[in-house]
Amino acid sequence: MIKTDALIIGAGPTGLFTAHQLKIIGLDCQIVDNLDKIGGQCIELYPDKPIYDIPAIPECTGEELTQNLIKQLEHFKIKFHLNERVDEVKKDNNNWEVKTSNGTKFSTPNVIIAGGVGSFEPRKFSLKECEQFENKSIFYSVKDKKIFEGKIVTIFGGGDSALDWAVELSKTSKVNLIHRRDEFRGANATVDKVHELAKSGKINLFTKYQLSGIKGSSNLESVEITHENKEVKTFKTDYILGFFGLIMQLGPISNWGLNLNKKTIEVDTEKFETNQKGIYAVGDICTYPGKLKLILSGFHEGALAARACFKLARPNEKYRFEFTTSSKTIKDRLGVKSD
Amino acid sequence: MTKITYIEHNGKEHTIDVQNGLTVMEGAVQNDIPGIDADCGGSMACATCHVYVKDDWYDKLDEKSEGEDDMIDQAYEPKKNSRLSCQITVSDKIEGLVVYLPEKQV
């Protein structure tokens, strides 16, 4: 059981700056994120897109913003738990007991949800029958490519993941690649490689087709695809891989007894606290009258939520407001020299 | 103002006057039409404002923007007449446009 003054859910810009604010006022914190990297939507959705409305930064990309926020936190050596999704948040006396998908447990008086639009999950096939084969014959990511050796693998999708795996697996498996249109959105070199492999018969390429059915009992046996013009094809397959990108889902957050408004969490505008004492929501995931879904609003919300955490983490101390320009205590925490 | 008709997956129709200059997505969100999530707020970074354009309308709309089809690849059950409603700007030219909402967005 890890004890911490505050646990932040979400390592996007808001979560990162909230950590900074907690550390500056002398609280410790840890961060959990479902993605395998730091940065949230900035890094997953628009790493290369320029952002023009971060105060005092005329222009930066999602990736640059993330790198700068990480740099701003560097001295604090914050512990990140990546690839973990927070599944459970339960009351335990005055603390919250938090459990992640990997079984990591935290005990903390403060939980700050900086979860954006929820956690990123792979988009799955809409066909209901696919569920029973999930993680057995149907996968949305590849953990162990050895299981595909010598087998028939049918890959759906038109982005880098689909193309990369089609190229890679064509070395040891019989690969069918299926995409809903003629154009692929992967790197040009990979697209060329796929066409080349298709020409030489190493990959069976079907474009303008989509999945329309599967057959099998304990194992998957065959797959049915349908062309735009309704023509149907059926062939044998051992495995199906689907790569349709990531979608954002509120996920387990909806089970924690919080007041929700569509896909957002209702908070007050003093502490950014939810209807549960000690649980706060900041950034895109929170809502209140006048809420703006801007990164700069997330920074403000995180700064206030961090101050609210102080009361519960240090019930016998009084929080004193100080400036980074003049406070020796804060400069010590930041590891910079005082004048 | 331009009349846009949104038809939910269950068949329920909403005909709304949408201000020119807004997008078809914004018209739906501002009028609380269920079925359009628009998680990313119109920056073409998700596919949760996905609609099917009524057949005869598809070719009358401006061409898809660059990258739109890449996002539609990631939509729920994309079809030939799929568009992202955040990329369709409302103007007199599309008076009477009809879009169907998918069964779900995610």
What pLDDT, on a 0 to 100 scale, did the predictor assign at position A263? 83
| Burial of residue B102 (number of CB atoms within 10 Å: 0-12, 13-18, 19+) | buried
Mean pLDDT lowest among A108-112, A117-121, A148-152? A117-121
Q: Are A159 and A184 in contact (CB under 8 A)?
A: yes
pLDDT band for position A262 (cuts 50, 70, 90)? confident
pLDDT band for position A61 (cuts 50, 70, 90)? very high
How far does the CA of residue A8 sit from the closest CA of chain B (Å)? 22
What pLDDT, on a 0 to 100 scale, did the predictor assign at position A249? 82
Token reading at A111: 């939980």
Residue A128 DSSP symbol: G
Mean pLDDT in residue range A295-320: 97
| β-strand pairing of A239-242 with A260-261 | unpaired
Contact B37 A263 (CB under 8 A): yes
Picking from A117, A178, A226 by the largest number of B CB atoms within 10 A of its own CB, the best residue to mutate is A117
Contact A244 B40 (CB under 8 A): no
CATH superfamily, domain at B2-100: Beta-grasp domain (3.10.20.30)
- Domain ranges, ordered by start, for chain B: 2-100
Residue A28 to residue A206: CA distance in whole angstroms:
53
- Percent of chain B scoring above 90 in pLDDT: 75
CA distances from A246 to A145, A199, A254, B91 (A): 21, 30, 19, 32
**Residue A45 pLDDT greater than 80, yes or no:** no
What pLDDT, on a 0 to 100 scale, did the predictor assign at position A156? 97
**Residues of chain B contacting A159 with CB distance shorter than 8 Å:** 70, 73-74
**Residues of chain B contacting A210 with CB distance shorter than 8 Å:** 78
**Residue A339 pLDDT greater than 80, yes or no:** no
**Residues of chain A contacting B70 with CB distance shorter than 8 Å:** 159, 185
Mean pLDDT in residue range A194-214: 96
Nearest to A126 among B40, B41, B76 (CB): B76
Q: What is the DSSP string of A23-85?
A: HHTT--EEEE-SSSSTTTHHHHT-TTSEE--BTTBS-EEHHHHHHHHHHHHGGG-PEEETT--
| Residue B94, amino acid | I
Mean pLDDT lowest among A20-24, A331-335, B64-68? B64-68
pLDDT band for position A117 (cuts 50, 70, 90)? confident
Left (φ > 0), alpha (ψ -120 to 50) or beta: where does A103 sit?
Answer: left
**Residues of chain A contacting B41 with CB distance shorter than 8 Å:** 293
Contact A247 B43 (CB under 8 A): no
In chain B, DSSP assigns E strands to: 2-7, 13-18, 50-53, 82-84, 97-100
Residue A128 to residue A81: CA distance in whole angstroms:
33
| Residue A123, amino acid | R
Which structural domains are found in chain A, ordered by start? 2-121+247-334 (3.50.50.60), 124-244 (3.50.50.60)
Mean pLDDT in residue range A214-232: 94
| Residue A326, amino acid | S
Q: What is the DSSP string of A111-122?
A: EEE--TTSEEEE
What pLDDT, on a 0 to 100 scale, did the predictor assign at position B33? 93
Contact A158 B73 (CB under 8 A): yes
Contact B106 A46 (CB under 8 A): no
**Residue B55 pLDDT greater than 90, yes or no:** no
Residue A339 to residue A323: CA distance in whole angstroms:
14
Q: Count Cβ atoms below 10 Å from residue A210 Cβ, excluding itself.
A: 20
What pLDDT, on a 0 to 100 scale, did the predictor assign at position A253? 93
pLDDT band for position B39 (cuts 50, 70, 90)? confident
| Residue B58, amino acid | Y
pLDDT band for position A251 (cuts 50, 70, 90)? confident
Residue B96 DSSP symbol: T
Residue A147 DSSP symbol: G
Mean pLDDT lowest among A92-96, A307-311, B65-69? B65-69
Mean pLDDT in residue range A121-147: 91
For A167-177, the pLDDT digits (tens) are: 999 999 999 99
Token reading at A23: 């550390």
Write the ipTM.
0.77
pLDDT band for position B42 (cuts 50, 70, 90)? confident
Nearest to B70 among A123, A185, A249 (CB): A185
Q: Give the residue from A4, A10, A27 showing the smallest Cα distance to A306.
A: A27
**H or E stretch covering B68:** helix B68-72
Residue A57 backbone phi and psi in degrees, to 5: -120, 100
| Residue B74, amino acid | Q
* Helix boundaries (H) for chain A: 13-24, 41-44, 62-73, 160-169, 188-199, 295-313, 328-334
- B interface residues, A as partner, C-beta within 8 Å: 37, 39-41, 43, 45-48, 69-70, 73-74, 76-78, 80, 103, 106
CA distances from A264 to A7, A179, B17 (A): 19, 34, 27
Q: Are A224 and A233 in contact (CB under 8 A)?
A: yes
Residues in chain A: 339
Residue B73 DSSP symbol: T
- A interface residues, B as partner, C-beta within 8 Å: 41, 45-46, 49, 117, 123, 126, 157-159, 179-181, 183, 185, 210, 228, 244-249, 263, 293
Nearest to A228 among B77, B80, B106 (CB): B80
Residues 6+ apart with CB under 8 A from B9: B35, B100, B101, B102, B103, B104
